[in-house]
Amino acid sequence: MDIWFSRPDLERLNNPPMQHMGVFLGIRFTQVDGDALHAIMPVNERTRQPMGILHGGASVVLAETVGSVASHYVVDPATHVAVGMEINANHLRPVREGFVTAICRPVHLGKSSHVWDIRLMDDQQRPVCISRLTVAIVEKTRIS
């Protein structure tokens, strides 16, 4: 099943025209499937907390980035925008180094909201964080 209004372009996603939090943290999009978007983020000095493990907030940034981008590519960008409404995260295991991989899949793709399941795994494919993101789908005419 292909969920995309327009298929995400990894080259464009990984070379954005402006700096933003995802770029600062080193998030890179790695794969697009028919119903999933994948990304990685390094565990390094930008994403670790003072105790030397992956910061929970960095995990949430990765989850919200991947889910928001996924919603953007599911709607018609000429008429609608996707804006985050709510996110939650369960942090399951610490990570000290390497990368975390996010896999984002839809739970619900409605006309006015999307709900995404985002699973983060470490380099050994062990679960690190499970997140759920709710995104509002808003007509562009309502944004000013």
Q: Is 64 a catalytic residue?
A: yes
What digits encode the pLDDT tens for the residues 39-71?
999 999 999 999 999 999 999 999 999 999 999
What digits encode the pLDDT tens for the residues 1-33?
799 999 999 999 999 888 899 999 999 999 999
Q: Which CATH superfamily is domain 10-142 in?
A: Hotdog Thioesterase (3.10.129.10)
How far apart (Å, rounded) are the C-alpha atoms in residues 40 and 29? Answer: 6
How far apart (Å, rounded) are the C-alpha atoms in residues 126 and 144? Answer: 43
| Among 11, 45, 64, 97, the one annotated catalytic | 64
Span 77-81, average pLDDT? 95
Output phi, psi for 137, to 5 deg: -105, 115
Span 116-143, average pLDDT? 96
Question: What global pTM score does this model have?
Answer: 0.95
Domain ranges for the chain: 10-142
Q: Spell out the residues 6+ positions from residue 6 whose beta carbon is closer than 8 angstroms to its own.
A: 73, 77
